[in-house]
Chain A
């Protein structure tokens, strides 16, 4: 696909996304669309570390939850605007990611993934027992100031749709810039052959930490959006291993290390989830995990390159922009 055709397709997709809620007015459908956008944003954020750098994190809910809790607590205790809280959450999550990443990056492959599960489980256990953070009961956000300034919309879910879309576009833009930068090439080199990368002057720790800091900040922003949309957060919903797995699954399903893979993955996964909820009814808490597990097995065996890999039909996994396409 030529550069111009790609840009045109992108603008068309953006226009369709912007017009979607005007064409589809049913709240249930709109809500599903919001969930889809939020899942896509988290998958794209996860992809910076898990896709480009190849460091599979199954603990990203720890950063998502950090964003949700930091902005909520700052707004409840200090009356800080959730918009500023979103930035604060991103910064705290970044710092936390560096602290956690430092020891975890000493582990490779599966061991790294297992360590990240431990991280999210520990954070969940700590918050569960911490009364000042709401403990296991969670936090109810006050309906103090509605409207754009207060980041709370109670009449219609529509503003959340556009905020989620904007956040997704921002996250994609960051991902796109990273992929074309020195850091982006270094991350892909680290993923393929870490020793060769080192022999070319690449510090593994430095660039992995950059990747996890950025990835965590973006995931935390998604956490703040979730908190403002639901107006209720608890450790089970924001700091769980299953949410972490979902973030990775969105990217793996769509295609790791590709820019738009997670967006496609989120669309498919959300549709499957909502479908299974309709078929099996109610809770979904058990059935969605079964669906996740089944999808992981199927994709690992038959389509490791994800849906993007199937679409492009190329064996060359990461679809980062070629340098020769540069202006």
Chain B
């Protein structure tokens, strides 16, 4: 069976800077893959290539067997890949419900149908009470949750979550972990970029570790935690930090 997502030798250069080099991995149906690495390792660049915001310099991205590298974001979304943004990009001039509605309209062209689907998504992520509130009035944790809800409303097969746990309190991290688990239980595969290790380690089926644009490890969380190369990458960062 072909995996849901196959990334092969993905390379992205910006002028002289190589942000991703020969990155290859696969994500299976309903799998949670954690994508970690030091700042500047190229995690968000991978996301932007997967979601169609960057055209890769080389390599291929196949989603459900179809080549999607170089397609524009709206075409990638239509094929079933949804994303959130590291810095939240909610529609501030709209209510919470309207934000999610924009996502739901992708699969349901009639507004009343889409409203029903949006409400369902809000119930799933527990934001239903805030449906009528202006989106800009939500707390940071709620805004991140709103981005996830909006992405879910497009009914994706693969969800790309970019640091949804960053800046949250311990209790909020637990809620977020629970939410990602329930998303996976609905059969939606997730690639999760995260710095919060206690958030991602317990739920990931696989961990992918990037360093300086290259994939240096790919395996189950327990193996990754003991991998010398991974430890070196993080330790290296710590050693460099005081002099930087």
A residues sitting closer than 8 Å to B (CB atoms) are 180-182, 185-186, 188-189, 191-193, 195-204, 257, 315-318, 322-324, 326
Contacts and interface: CB of A to CB of B under 8 A. Distances in A.
A177 to B, nearest CB: 11
A201 B93 contact: no
Interface string B41-73: 000000000011100000000000000000011
B53 A200 contact: no
A186 B53 CA distance: 19
Nearest to A198: B73
Contact of B77 (A201, A204, A315): A201
10 contacts: A180-B111, A185-B94, A188-B98, A195-B85, A198-B72, A198-B74, A199-B77, A200-B106, A324-B97, A326-B111
A323 B72 contact: no
Given A185-B101, A199-B73, A201-B74, A322 B151 contact: no
Nearest to A196: B89
B132 interface: yes
B115 A196 contact: no
B90 interface: yes
Contacts of B150: 196, 200
A186 B112 contact: no
Contacts of A323: 97-98, 101, 111-112, 115
Nearest to A202: B74
A202 B99 CA distance: 13
B235 interface: no
B93 A318 contact: yes
B96 to A, nearest CB: 11
Given A185-B101, A199-B73, A200-B102, A192 B93 contact: yes
Most buried by A among B78, B83, B102, B136: B102
Nearest to B147: A196
Nearest to B84: A199
Contacts of B53: 195, 198-199
B109 interface: yes
